[in-house]
Amino acid sequence: MTKRIVKVYPRFERLWHWSQVILIVTLMVTGFGLNGVHSLIPFGPAVMLHTIAALALLALWIFATFWLFTTGTWKQFVPTLQGMMQVALYYAWGVFRGEKHPYKKVLWRKHNPLQAATYFGLKWFVFPAIWSTGLLYLTYNFWAGAVPNASFWIWAIANLHLLAAYVIAAFVIVHVYLLTVGHGFRAHVEPMITGYDEVDLTPEQEAYLQADEPWRLKPQES
């Protein structure tokens, strides 16, 4: 295996990531305001901004899902148990003892097992929960008259929406914290800006990139 600097995050994935960051932060700030945590934004504008950001994020997720499946990038998010325990133990206490990260990033698997499992859970369970409850919440006036016990259902929908939002907020907090461990904040964030990251390549993978996708390989310093 050879360590090379390779473009592993294409332009769309980086645009998707940073657009998602902006929209999720907007939703968190306005959502907390609507639930009385702060009064930085008046209720009416907060509702409007929350709705616009939510619809924009939903559109982004739909487009990103299409991109994931048409490019085959979805395979990066398939969880695996191999190496899961070692990574979990590293984050539990190994990182505090200065140990090296047990996972080595490779070309076709840029997410470690714990990352892949977390993203899988978010994309297949938490995100759909917040999409569906948000849309039901938004369209309450259209279906309330046709559903028995509508007041109970809107209460259940609102609380499920809030629960999913807190799960996403917890993920954001942990995600930002983990950016500060290991190689440091800059080393973790820079690849999502430039697209380049250090990965282990087999001789076959390196030969393939040099022959078919040379633009993805950063020239080695002499």
**SS3 assignment, position 109:** strand
Q: What's the pLDDT score for residue 212?
A: 87
Q: Give dist(CA 222, CA 217) in Å, integer.
A: 15
> What token pair was written down for 27?
């939703």
Q: How far is CA 178 from CA 50, 171, 174, in A?
A: 27, 10, 6
Q: What's the pLDDT score for residue 102?
A: 87
Q: What's the pLDDT score for residue 219?
A: 80
DSSP label at residue 40: S
How buried is residue 26: exposed, middle or buried, by Cβ count under 10 Å (0-12/13-18/19+)?
A: middle
Q: What's the pLDDT score for residue 53?
A: 97
> What token pair was written down for 62?
């739909």
Q: List, in sequence order, every residue forming a beta bridge with 200; answer none if it has no partner.
A: 3, 106
How buried is residue 55: exposed, middle or buried, by Cβ count under 10 Å (0-12/13-18/19+)?
A: middle
Residue 89's CB is within 10 A of a number of other CB atoms, namely: 13
Q: What's the pLDDT score for residue 202?
A: 86
Q: What's the pLDDT score for residue 187?
A: 82
Reported pTM: 0.86
Q: Give dist(CA 36, CA 196) in Å, integer.
A: 42
Residue 163's CB is within 10 A of a number of other CB atoms, namely: 14
Q: Tell me: domain 2-215, CATH 3.40.1390.10, correct? A: no
**SS3 assignment, position 201:** strand
Q: Are 99 and 90 in contact (CB under 8 A)?
A: yes
Return the CA Rg of the chain.
Answer: 21
Alpha helices in the chain (DSSP H): 11-34, 43-71, 84-92, 113-121, 127-138, 140-143, 150-178, 185-189, 191-194, 203-212
Q: pLDDT tens, position by position, for the chain (222 residues)?
A: 788 899 989 999 999 999 999 999 999 999 999 988 899 999 999 999 999 999 999 999 999 999 999 988 888 888 888 888 999 999 888 888 888 888 888 777 888 899 999 999 998 999 999 999 999 999 999 999 899 999 999 999 999 999 999 999 999 999 998 888 777 788 889 999 999 998 888 888 889 888 988 888 988 765
DSSP label at residue 137: H
